[in-house]
Amino acid sequence: RDFRMACQTILGVAAETVEESKRCPIFREWLKGKTDAAQLWNSFFAHHGGLAPMLRPPVTTLLEQNKDAITMLSENRKQLLNRRKRRR
């Protein structure tokens, strides 16, 4: 919550935009510059966790990233349940 508020108050952008920017190689190159804006962002990062992710990814993103693992676990669970039914 504090991170979100700081992004909006200090940088004037949403926290999601800041997180997306952190992952961008072009943005990281820009941060190395000596412009006033780059210095502002660097100062912000120095006081708010650096370039490490500060927001949890949305649940849907986590599910999409782990879709194959979830499918495999579901299939294994179905097989296990079928085996148990056959034993009875």
pLDDT (tens digit, 9 = 90+) per residue, 28-39?
Answer: 999 999 999 999
> Mean pLDDT of all residues in the chain?
84
**Are 10 and 17 a contacting pair, CB within 8 Å?**
no
Structure tokens at 56: 């949890």
- Predicted model pTM: 0.62
CA distance 15 to 8: 7
Q: What angle do CA 61, 6, 12 make, to 5 degrees?
A: 90
pLDDT band for 79, please (50, 70, 90 cuts): confident
